[in-house]
Amino acid sequence: MESKTYAVIGTGAIGGYYGARLHHGGFDVHFLLNSDYQQVRQQGLKVDSHFGDFSIAADRINAYNVTNEMPKADVVLVALKTTQNDLLEALIRPLLKSDTLVLLLQNGIGAEQALSNQLELEYTAGGLCFICSNKVGPGHIHHIDYGRLTLGVYGESGISALTSVADDFKHCGVEVDIEHSILDARWKKLLWNVPFNGLSAVLDADTAQIMACRETVALAKAIMLEVGLVAKATGSSIDPSLIETMLNNTAKMKPYLTSMLLDRRNGREMELQYMYSNVLDIARQQGVEMPKTEALYQQLCFLNRQITK
């Protein structure tokens, strides 16, 4: 298997987990950290996983606090929240080679196109993380459940590079699917993220609490149907049975604190642009009404202002 150099931008619940999997699979992985930098340099990176714990000792981890000191990468994994996407151009540019694949492990829709335009890239990849993983302390990640990746590419010429990265993840024990279109993949993830991230933050409730109330389950389903209508209007194909499948899987999963709920509880700005504002803009362009999603977004905007003011 071809040996690649990976750069992980954002070593939190997502970047730390998948980066550690690649490290233990034998790949050359370099981690960008911010507030956790000194802790990880001294104590290493700890991942408690239901698949079995796997950590990286302090003397084995390649940890940095600026990308200018990192080696140029074959693959850049971006695992920052989309609220920090205004930093991406400056962070990524020092890492680029002529054929570097940038893979955005983020929520929402529209980021691949924006970054491709900013960096003048021929192609950019996106990844949807079907995982329950939280950062519970500096350099400490708790992987609760799941872990599958769905990958897609923006720019058809990048499919070969994306397939190679998918093979690397599979080699490391990560289940991976490849979608022909990253937009199809993103709409499928939004089908879950729009209702459950937003409702969990507004209600201050985990997934088990939401699923235990028939009224909130009905609301979640109604929002999912709205997202599905917008996806269909843009030409993306979503199997109608996927909504029931997602609801059943959510009911069976361990109680999960969504990323947006954790952001609210910890006083961090929530990810509204790519997950809500962009979706509602696309809906208006397509002439699709999303009254329940719009109402949820308005409540989230109120909460965000309380956090950021």
The residues that are catalytic are 189
Burial class, 80, CB count within 10 angstroms (exposed 0-12 / middle 13-18 / buried 19+): buried
Three-state SS for 131? strand
Cα–Cα nearest to 243, from 234, 231, 256: 231
CB neighbours of 238 closer than 8 A, spacing ≥ 6? 184, 187, 188, 191, 228, 231, 232
- CA atoms of 77 and 88, how far apart (whole Å): 11
- CA atoms of 191 and 228, how far apart (whole Å): 7
Tokens of 72: 């140029």
Q: Which residue has the tokens 């989230």?
A: 300
- Cβ atoms 99, 75 nearer than 8 A: no
The CA-atom distances, in angstroms, between 248 and each of 50, 164, 189 are 21, 33, 15
Query: What stretches of the chain show up as alpha helix (H) in DSSP?
Result: 15-24, 37-43, 88-92, 111-119, 159-171, 182-203, 207-211, 214-233, 241-252, 259-265, 278-286, 291-308
Three-state SS letters, 1-66: CCCCEEEEECCCCCHHHHHHHHHHCCCEEEEECCCCHHHHHHHCEEEEECCCCCCECCCCCEEECC
What is the total residue count of the chain?
A: 309
Tokens of 46: 């700890």
